[in-house]
Structure 1
Amino acid sequence: MTVHFPRLAERARSQAVHQPGLYGDFDFTVLPHRLTIDPADASALPAWVAERAPYLTDEPTVELIRTTTLLGDVIADPYAALVATHGTKQLISMLCTACRDGIDAVPDAPPELVRLVEAMETPPPWIDMDLVEEGARAARVPAAFLSPYLLRGAFLATFTNTYAALPMTLTGALSSKRAARRVHHTAGFFAVTTMPGALDRHGAGFEAAAMVRFMHSLTRVQALRRPGIWDRAVYGLPIPQIDQMPAGLINTYILARAALRRRRPAFTHRERSVAEFARYRCFLLGLPEELLPTTPEAIVHLFHARAALLRDGFDDATCGALVRTTMAAQLHQGHGLTPRLTESVERSWSKYFFRQAFCNGNTSAAHAMSVDVTRTDALRVTLTAPFILGRYLIATAAGNQPRLTRLTDAYTLRILQRRLTAYGMPPSQA
């Protein structure tokens, strides 16, 4: 019985009514095996992060996670389901045209496309749009100077649980080239959305968000339509909304943890703008307001509660293979000394970041998940930290000085544009 989030529960149930081809035989009253509130079960919440017990008795949060574990994208899924009659290339082409030139530029636009674009182009009242562009400006500093060295490590975190990672195997991510492409696409998305005006109706970030949202839905559709490929009783829905929340709010979660460590119950104005920018980006990706809290305590609580209810599991055939393939992927192309040095430094930073952030600095725990942090990696991080962290900290500090803001932002944009080119995103899209 739903008590705290009835509208969200109705949205989940409506999937069977509006998309019978996908969800007509899906029982939304039965919880998948991945979700557990049994204190005896091991969960994805490490003991060093937080105690699990309080989350299991928090009825509103448990209900929220239960509901969004069974919630796909009621707007984008019907459009992705047209793949059977239109094909992937045509659906992508129509979506890109609608984003760049408007829905009227798409001849005989399917009503499913019209609904998707209309749902994205009107900002909801629960987003403070005055803060979004300010937050994007602040977020582009780490996107330019820090994220390129940490992204692979953060990407690995999505592979540490069998129940959440399985959809990745359906996209061909076990191929080294496909793994590199996925990392670049992810990096490109997070970077381009920070560019000036990128999240405006016809901006490059708006289009990138639409494409990410479509690809999530397409993966969901393909998993559910292939006989025997997806065990609903075990995994529930592929890429449910609750699994998209951590990636969309990871930077906000880091800010929230830092605020709580300093015993600050609220964000500073700058942190609030970054959080609002992330919330709006998540809205474009289809996440509901209920999964986008605004305070440090609520954000940390939701992250930890999701992990507390997600059954623990690291299947080497799935998770281990995804980790190893991603670590082996060549992200920096070229045969000269510079690409090789950049690749080695980035890989070391990613492994080091993964160990510190997701394994509590435990080298053995990282090794168990196929991430080996060697002495050479530690040495590379130590030697390059003054440049990587120094430039990031200087740019952050200078950006907070009114006299230096424009100069710092111009320099940051030049660096960010170079990153986007390296990620394979043409200048016209950035």
Structure 2
Amino acid sequence: MQATEDPAATALPTTLPRTLPTTLPTTLRHAELAEQRYPQLAPTYFAAMWDGDPLADAFVADLARVGHGAGMRMLRTACRQGIDAVPDAPASLRALFAQLDATPDWVDLDALDRDTVHLGRYTRQAGIVLGAASLVSGYANSAASRPLEMTGRYIENAGMRTIEVASWLVAANKQGGLGRHEEGFELTVRVRVIHALVRQALLRDDRWDTAAWGVPICQSYLAYTLIEFCLIPLRGMRAIGAPYRPHEQAAYYARWRYIGHLLGIDERLLPTDEAEQEALEGIYLLTRPPVDDYCRELVGAINSEFLVPEIEQLVPPRLHPLAPRVVAALERVFIGDGIADELGVADTRLKHLVRAAGPVIGGLNAALDRVPVTLGPRTRMGERYREAQDLRLRSRYGVQHDLVDASPGGGKPHPARG
């Protein structure tokens, strides 16, 4: 799909190489087995290793002409007021918003909000799952983690990066948050452009090995974002006894399908339901490049700088020495012993306690969920907890912005900051 007729907006040398390898990235594993297990999905998944996001990449290429700051201001204005409020918008930005404004027929935002109105009752559990399941699961792929390494964001400040991710997730999942001029819509679009900015910078970086890793933040790994923040959290919530009701789960998959659309995920890779997410997870795990030392450093950083201190906040001081083991137990339950071993997560017998306690707690919570009068108060309590936690974490880590493109200077430069 061409983003625009303007040659300046589609100039490939600033985004993707003119010729890309016809073979698979050399770090990919078990390709033949993947083709046998996923005969329909594998050809699309493998081809997408060489695909970026043509619309967002074209806009980012235009920033060299219009200026980074001016271009990002145009982007925000278009999100908040519509593309017609940006009279001097480049053709690439207009093409991007032509896609964003064309809401697919399968999207029903009112139904999504109605069916997920009480998800906040499990706010405490969702925060744990975000760190110990969603983020950690993404670190078991050295190629997909490489952009974090080369931009220096996570090791620099794991707490800040986690808050930035949470800012987006909260906005995108709140009631009404994905409305056309709402914060969740804007942050999702900005995440998409941040990906394109990182992609452009890494393709210009001699350290990026395209033959080994494919295109930075390629479509295949971008699609796995939905697994990280939808399938894995739902599975993790069940594991620790916070199961959503069937209609809530269905709405959650539908919401993330739309978020994936806004992120620029190719429709051929965009899963529509749990079964399709499981297939995408399966081929990703089967073929992912092996874990390397940086993957293990990422896990160590989020554990020591964020998850362990957060667990300490939930227990009395005398139990603080147990916090590292609790984090390790949770991670082993969420991602499995095999991947945990690769990532260097300590083994602990506490994992058996977590696995045993989950169904018991889940049964109690499911019984509560069947009493409709409890849902509202529990949801309001969860939202108050989330707001208090957000204030505490932002104060603790000195974070006042939402996403990295709005972060203050200092530390290692980042492509999204211009």
TM range (shorter): 0.7 to 0.9
Distance in 2, matches of 1:59 and 1:270, equals 31
Which of 239, 250, 257 is the matching residue for 1:272? Answer: 250
* 1:59 to 2:39 alignment: yes
Deviations 1:44-82 (A, max 9, x none): xxxxxxxxx475353321112112222211121112223
> Do the aligned partners of 2:49 and 2:219 also contact (CA within 8 Å) in 1?
yes
Q: Secondary structure at the match of 2:24?
A: coil
Equivalence for 1:50:
none
Displacement after TM superposition at 1:243 (Å): 0.8
Equivalence for 2:407:
none
* 1:369 to 2:348 alignment: no
Deviations 1:209-265 (A, max 9, x none): 112111111110100122x1211111110011211222323454348879xxxxxxx
Distance in 2, matches of 1:423 and 1:202, equals 27
Matched to 1:204, the amino acid is: E
Distance in 2, matches of 1:184 and 1:95, equals 22
Which of 305, 309, 314 is the matching residue for 1:329? Answer: 305
Report matched runs for 1:78-89 at 5 Å.
78-89=58-69
> Do the aligned partners of 1:133 and 1:197 also contact (CA within 8 Å) in 2?
yes
Displacement after TM superposition at 1:167 (Å): 1.3
> Do the aligned partners of 1:256 and 1:297 also contact (CA within 8 Å) in 2?
no
Report matched runs for 1:100-179 at 5 Å.
100-106=80-86, 108-142=88-122, 144-154=123-133, 155-177=135-157, 179=158
* 1:352 to 2:329 alignment: yes
Displacement after TM superposition at 1:85 (Å): 3.7
Equivalence for 2:409:
none
- Cα distance change on mapping 1:254 and 1:196 into 2, 3 Å: same
Deviations 1:186-224 (A, max 9, x none): 122112222121111111111111121111111101001
- Cα distance change on mapping 1:74 and 1:348 into 2, 3 Å: farther
- Cα distance change on mapping 1:23 and 1:294 into 2, 3 Å: closer
Equivalence for 1:299:
277
* 1:32 to 2:32 alignment: no
Which of 3, 10, 23 is the matching residue for 1:18? Answer: 10
Equivalence for 1:190:
169
Distance in 2, matches of 1:232 and 1:183, equals 28
Deviations 1:91-150 (A, max 9, x none): 3333223222333444622232233233223321233444321354354444x2212123
Which of 224, 227, 240 is the matching residue for 2:218? Answer: 240
Q: Secondary structure at the match of 1:301?
A: helix
Distance in 2, matches of 1:397 and 1:423, equals 32
Q: Secondary structure at the match of 1:193?
A: helix
Matched to 2:303, the amino acid is: M
Distance in 1, matches of 2:30 and 2:149, equals 27
- Cα distance change on mapping 1:350 and 1:107 into 2, 3 Å: farther
Residue identity over aligned pairs, in percent, reads 24
* 1:403 to 2:403 alignment: no
Distance in 1, matches of 2:186 and 2:54, equals 19
Q: Secondary structure at the match of 2:146?
A: helix
- Larger displacement relative to structure 2 (72-81 or 417-426): 417-426
- Larger displacement relative to structure 2 (126-135 or 156-165): 126-135
Matched to 2:251, the amino acid is: S
Matched to 1:328, the amino acid is: S
Equivalence for 1:261:
none
Equivalence for 2:406:
none
- Cα distance change on mapping 1:303 and 1:428 into 2, 3 Å: closer
Matched to 1:245, the amino acid is: A
Q: How well do the aligned residues superpose, as a CA RMSD in angstroms?
A: 3.9
Distance in 2, matches of 1:339 and 1:369, equals 26
> Do the aligned partners of 1:176 and 1:328 also contact (CA within 8 Å) in 2?
no
What are the ranges of 5 or more consecutive residues in structure 2 without an aligned counterpart?
Answer: 237-244, 404-418
> Do the aligned partners of 1:99 and 1:202 also contact (CA within 8 Å) in 2?
yes
Matched to 1:354, the amino acid is: E
- Cα distance change on mapping 1:328 and 1:289 into 2, 3 Å: same
Distance in 2, matches of 1:282 and 1:164, equals 17
Matched to 2:40, the amino acid is: P
Which of 270, 292, 295 is the matching residue for 1:319? Answer: 295
Displacement after TM superposition at 1:353 (Å): 2.4
- Cα distance change on mapping 1:153 and 1:268 into 2, 3 Å: closer
- Cα distance change on mapping 1:394 and 1:130 into 2, 3 Å: farther
Equivalence for 2:413:
none
Distance in 1, matches of 2:129 and 2:203, equals 33
Equivalence for 1:206:
185
- Cα distance change on mapping 1:166 and 1:150 into 2, 3 Å: same
> Do the aligned partners of 1:212 and 1:285 also contact (CA within 8 Å) in 2?
yes
Matched to 2:344, the amino acid is: S
Which of 377, 384, 394 is the matching residue for 1:414? Answer: 384
- Cα distance change on mapping 1:413 and 1:346 into 2, 3 Å: farther
What are the ranges of 5 or more consecutive residues in structure 1 without an aligned counterpart?
Answer: 1-6, 40-52, 259-266
